[in-house]
Amino acid sequence: MNQQQLLDELLKKHKDGTLKPSDRFNIPPQPMPQQDSVERRKNVNEVALGYTETQARLEALRCLQCKNAPCVEGCPVRIKIKEFITEIVEGNFQKALDIIRENSLLPAVCGRVCPQEVQCQLPCTVGKKFKDVEKSVSIGRLERFVSDWGRKQHDQSSPAVAAATGKKVAVIGSGPGGIVVATDVRRAGHDVTVFEAFHKTGGVMVYGIPEFRLPKAIVQEEIDTLEKMGVKIVRNFVVGRTKTIKQLIEEDGFDAVYVGVGAGLPMFMGIEGEHLVGVYSANEYLTRANLMRAYDFGKGADTPIAMSKRVAVVGGGNVAMDSARTAVRLGAEKVYLVYRRSEKEMPARVEEVHHAKEEGIEFHLLRNPKKIIGNAEGVVTAIECLKFELGEPDASGRRRPVPIEGSEFIIDVDTVVVAIGNGANPLIGQTTDGLTLNKWGNIIVDENCKTSLEGVYAGGDIVLGAATVILAMGQGRTAAAAINEYLKSK
Amino acid sequence: MSHKLLSKKQLCPNVYMTDIEAPLVAAAARPGQFVIVCLAGGYSERIPLTIAGADAKKGTIRLIWQAVGKSTVELGQLKVGDSVENILGPLGKPTHVEKFGTVVCIGGGIGNAPLLPIATAMKKAGNKVISILGARTRELLILEEDFKAVSDEIIIVTDDGSYGRKALVTGPLDEICQAAPKPGLAVAIGPAIMMKFCCATTKKYDVPTVVSLNTIMIDGTGMCGGCRVEVGGQTKFVCVDGPEFDGHLVNFDLMMKRMQAYKKQEAQALEEYKHKCKIGLDK
């Protein structure tokens, strides 16, 4: 029986009310169609291709429609998962999209980059039944299917905007959090201006997350929607330098400010050789490759990047995977991922780890660099690593990596990408009197994302430290609601 | 928003000066700060350039740059009335200006451009300003008249002796440091090698020395870390911690190596650009 026949049969049972849970359990989890792993090493096009209608409806039929919907609890923005999946089963994709949009403003983004396996899909009853989170209902893929369907309909509608209130709101940063705040605050009728330091909008979604995981065109559509709603977007404006928050409030008359500037200060390991030519922070490597399109250097793009043959990427998160997979696409013959714990502790998404392996990236687990070695010209030639073993759990609950003495070994490389996280960018803190920061420089906020300054709110990585797109969006929603409430009384 | 070129002047071979519309930057700019220029919105390079002057009333900033790579050559091809699409700034921490007594300002080549607003501010703060301006040869010396206007004393040196003293900037710098009272501050801006030797000179006399670093940079807001340098054994980012640092603590050798990172690719890009555009580069 082919997929279509299976679907027809299941839908029939569904209609006459004879579809039993056992029938649902028997539906095979639908795999994500993807670009061939050999072919995709040579291009930057999206790897995951998205479900067909048949696949989406089959996957949706796997959902048990649990009364308590544990999946919703696992979603930072509480999407009505059960309801939107029901509409997919029925083939009502527009309705499904509308339901998602009640809670998530960026479904095409979240459907691609959310870590669903540790959020909505973790508590899924289907996954629990099979004792395997990978067998949970693929909520993320369904979300992506619905949003892509909407885009294919050339759905140009943008959220309705209430009558003008005469209040002005400044949103600093055009990343996921900033987009959410701008949308929600604009909907309430306020005059919104988004300030972006780069010449391109989208924040981490355009400089950090590669095209092969999140196409730029999708992010651009979200920005276009904002502009259609009447949100003003000012590029090349760095708050703290071009103007301070105080100036925005006192001179330009903004009634409220949202700070969503991201984390933005790369961490290094503090080991010998980190200043050698060929050592990059992941931010620099990805910015050159993504935002400045260095893979087209000399063919329309002017920003160069190392033309590496052998690359070591240090770290185990999504950014490390993105860097390693970018190196492959830039033509590296050998790419090594060096991570100090085991695969089990890796913070990267399982799917991305899997993609990375398919693309030939070699994993050096329980290994960590000790020093970086260079030649007389100051260019990287190798990386010296130490082997590790796992000890007792540390404060993070993960087993602590302990170095094995005398286990040094050398990998010959010409490029090293350091992807071990970001600290807080100091600029806003340094230039905003009265803004309370924690000892790491992150902005301190209350449960409404309000900072220590009247009318100033903050969220996303500058508050949380390096987190995810969806968490930034969740905070954006909270902050926007608080700003709208605050402006009512002002 | 695009930024129109209101004037343009060639100061010497490959060095251009332009006043350009950038009201927001002009209003906020202080001596020592820089901007990032990006010619067009597409996939042009982001070029860090120091601000050589700003007029808040007119809403203009003055940029002076040397056409060395593809992007700066392309910038040099623009005419009055043309625009660049993106200017971000002002970036970096402003120069710390106070009364130090005597301030020696040492400029080398294109380094005179960012040095001028600093020398002007130092003079205004009541300092005695001694300027030492160096160039390889006479025709490469820029902004001499402007420095005369803000300096109590000015010393010109050329490598080949075609103008002023035949010496390196460190020659007169050494003499000034020996004189009593010794300078309260030295500010050196120019090629890395020049700054390195200026610092070696002033260190002998314990004269505090500020240098302004012009490393490879992308975003200019602290995000990429590409501009990092080692200062006093610590990693610092030129864009947010600088661009000015205590010159006696900067690891210049490491910095010079890092600045060579893309030499080959830059040469290739320039060659292709010259070929494609058939531009008459001034020799």
Tell me the shortest Cα–Cα distance from A53 to chain B, in angstroms. 36
How many CA atoms, within 13 angstroms, populate the side-chain half-sphere of residue A126?
Answer: 29
Which residue, among A386, A424, A382, A459, has the nearest Cα to A267 in the 3D structure? A424
Q: Is the Cβ of A173 closer than 8 Å to some Cβ of chain B? A: no
What is the rounded CA–CA span in Å between residue A140 and residue B248?
Answer: 55
What is the rounded CA–CA span in Å between residue B170 and residue B148?
Answer: 20
Across the range A62-66, mean pLDDT stands at: 96
Per-residue model confidence as pLDDT tens digits over A240-283: 999 999 999 999 999 999 999 988 789 999 999 999 999 999 99
Phi-psi region of A441 (alpha: psi -120 to 50; beta: other; left: phi over 0): left
What is the rounded CA–CA span in Å between residue A41 and residue A61?
Answer: 34
CA B98 to each of CA A46, A53, B127: distance values in angstroms, whole numbers, following the listed order: 56, 70, 8
Q: Is the Cβ of B221 closer than 8 Å to some Cβ of chain A? A: yes
* Residues 367-386 (A) with a CB less than 8 A from some CB of B: 377-379
Task: Spell out the residues 6+ positions from residue A376 whose beta carbon is closer than 8 angstroms to its own.
Answer: none
B269 pLDDT tier (thresholds 50, 70, 90): confident
Q: β-pairing, A168-172 with A256-259? A: parallel
* Chain B residues close to A200, C-beta within 8 Å: 41
Tokens of B255: 């910095």
Which residue, among A423, A281, A420, has the nearest Cα to B226 in the 3D structure? A281
pLDDT at residue A57 is higher than 60: yes
Per-residue model confidence as pLDDT tens digits over B176-204: 999 888 999 999 999 999 999 999 999 99
B279 pLDDT tier (thresholds 50, 70, 90): low
What is the rounded CA–CA span in Å between residue A427 and residue B199?
Answer: 29
What is the rounded CA–CA span in Å between residue A144 and residue A142?
Answer: 5
What is the rounded CA–CA span in Å between residue A354 and residue B208?
Answer: 55
Which residue, among B249, B17, B209, has the nearest Cα to B105 in the 3D structure? B209
The b/e string for A12-50 (b: 16+ C-beta within 10 A; e otherwise) is eebeeeebeeeebeebebbebeebeeeebbeebebbbeb
Q: Quick check: B90 and B239 in contact, CB under 8 A?
A: no
Across the range B147-157, mean pLDDT stands at: 97
Q: Is B78 exposed, middle or buried (0-12, 13-18, 19+ CB in 10 A)?
A: middle
Q: β-pairing, B234-237 with B244-246? A: unpaired
pLDDT at residue A345 is higher than 70: yes
* Residues 220-259 (A) with a CB less than 8 A from some CB of B: 234-238, 241-243
What is the rounded CA–CA span in Å between residue A9 and residue A4?
Answer: 9
DSSP letters along A14-77, please?
HHTT---HHHHHHSPPPPPPB--TTGGGG--S-SB----HHHHHHHHHT----SS-HHHHT-TT
Which residue, among B221, B91, B47, B35, has the nearest Cα to A266 in the 3D structure? B221
| H helical segments located in A114-210 | 125-129, 139-152, 176-187, 204-207
> Which one-letter amino acid corresponds to residue A256?
A
Whether residues B261 and A277 touch (CB distance < 8 A) is answered with: yes
Interface probe for B, chosen from A196, A236, A314 (most Cβ of B below 10 Å), is A236
Across the range A133-161, mean pLDDT stands at: 90
Whether residues A281 and B224 touch (CB distance < 8 A) is answered with: yes
What is the rounded CA–CA span in Å between residue A187 and residue A184?
Answer: 5
Task: Spell out the residues 6+ positions from residue B270 whose beta carbon is closer than 8 angstroms to its own.
Answer: B69, B70, B73
* Residues 99-118 (A) with a CB less than 8 A from some CB of B: none
Which residue, among A106, A87, A99, A205, has the nearest Cα to A151 in the 3D structure? A106
DSSP letters along B208-222, please?
-EEEE-----SSSSS
pLDDT at residue A204 is higher than 50: yes
Per-residue model confidence as pLDDT tens digits over A296-311: 888 888 888 888 999 9
Per-residue model confidence as pLDDT tens digits over B85-108: 999 999 999 999 999 999 999 999
Across the range A397-426, mean pLDDT stands at: 93
Whether residues B223 and A265 touch (CB distance < 8 A) is answered with: yes
pLDDT for the residue A273: 94
Q: β-pairing, B15-21 with B86-91? A: unpaired
Selecting from B226, B254, B269 the residue whose C-beta is nearest the C-beta of A284 gives: B226
pLDDT for the residue B1: 64
What is the rounded CA–CA span in Å between residue A275 and residue A257?
Answer: 37
What is the rounded CA–CA span in Å between residue B90 and residue A243?
Answer: 9
pLDDT at residue A488 is higher than 50: yes
pLDDT at residue A414 is higher than 90: yes
Which residue, among B53, B81, B85, B32, has the nearest Cα to B214 in the 3D structure? B32
What is the rounded CA–CA span in Å between residue A484 and residue B109?
Answer: 55
A58 pLDDT tier (thresholds 50, 70, 90): very high
Selecting from B44, B251, B262 the residue whose C-beta is nearest the C-beta of A304 gives: B262
What is the rounded CA–CA span in Å between residue A216 and residue A206?
Answer: 6
Q: Is the Cβ of B41 closer than 8 Å to some Cβ of chain A? A: yes
Tell me the shortest Cα–Cα distance from A223 to chain B, in angstroms. 16
pLDDT for the residue B283: 42
Average pLDDT of every residue of chain B: 93
What is the rounded CA–CA span in Å between residue A276 and residue A140?
Answer: 41
A367 pLDDT tier (thresholds 50, 70, 90): very high
Q: Phi and psi at residue A103, in whole multiples of 5°?
A: -115, -25
Among chain B residues, the shortest Cα distance to A376 is held by B257
* Chain A residues close to B29, C-beta within 8 Å: none
Across the range A365-383, mean pLDDT stands at: 96
Across the range A179-206, mean pLDDT stands at: 95
pLDDT for the residue B41: 67
Q: What pTM did the predictor assign? A: 0.93
Average pLDDT of every residue of chain A: 94
Per-residue model confidence as pLDDT tens digits over B218-250: 999 999 999 999 999 999 999 999 999 999 999
pLDDT for the residue A466: 75
The b/e string for B221-251 (b: 16+ C-beta within 10 A; e otherwise) is bbbbbbbbbbbeeebbbbbbbbbbbebbbbb
| H helical segments located in A274-362 | 282-286, 318-329, 350-358
* Chain B residues close to A377, C-beta within 8 Å: 257, 260
pLDDT at residue A238 is higher than 60: yes
pLDDT for the residue B278: 62
Angle between helices A81-90 and A139-152 (to 10 degrees): 60
- DSSP code of residue B43: S
